[in-house]
Structure 1
């Protein structure tokens, strides 16, 4: 049975936390060699937001899909969110194999580029009385 009229059915999260088109974070400029220096760690698929809306089916089904690239997907942490930058086909293949955790290399831009807190405005500074002119006697 479906949800009653006027009420939305509760749906468990799908494979990923969200799917978006594009990267919301600044360009980090990491090369393939730079990524290789980051040790992979286990990440739940449902905590990742993808940066690509489409996937080439031949990349998903290819036996040698990681032959020319890194064995581990790449993700970027930005403002507390994890964005899957590279390796969408590896992550989706893991989900199709009933796995909900994968090993990912994570670049933590939050640690490299901390969010700056805005400096106080002049409105927060209490008003000062004018300085009197010096007297000449």
Structure 2
């Protein structure tokens, strides 16, 4: 199993991180793929296979930690690519959302 669970949607409330600048304020760290719950059930293969898929976006995945669970909000293609390369860790910006 690559991920802890494959989810469909965001079970956490809205947060204030809406721009790349907001996310950039959070230092990236390593997270285990097996600790992540996805918020998307499907992946665009073009995004996965393109060499410059991060050219216009953040280099790091975006993770929301809510009620002790880590949700992969953005960067599913990065996570799958890491798994295909047999890496168990992913560099991500993790935002802890306390309600």
Whether the TM-score (by the shorter chain) exceeds 0.5 is: yes
Counterpart of 2:59? 71
TM-score (norm 1): 0.70
Structure 1 consecutive aligned stretches of length 4 or more whose deviation exceeds 6 Å: none
CA distance in 1, matches of 2:60, 2:77: 11
Task: Tell me, yes or no, if structure 1 residue 34 matches structure 2 residue 5.
Answer: no
More strand by share: 2
Structure 1 gaps of 5+ residues are 1-13, 114-137
Q: State which structure, 1 or 2, has the greater radius of gyration over its C-alpha atoms.
A: 1
- Greater relative contact order, per chain length (Cα 8 Å cut-off, separation 6+): 2
Aligned length: 98
Computed over aligned residues only, the root mean square deviation of the Cα atoms, in angstroms, reads 0.7
Normalised by the size of structure 2, how large is the TM-score? 0.97
Instruction: State the partner residue of 1:100.
Output: 88
Aligned residue in 2 for 1:22 = 9
Deviation, 1:29, is 2.9
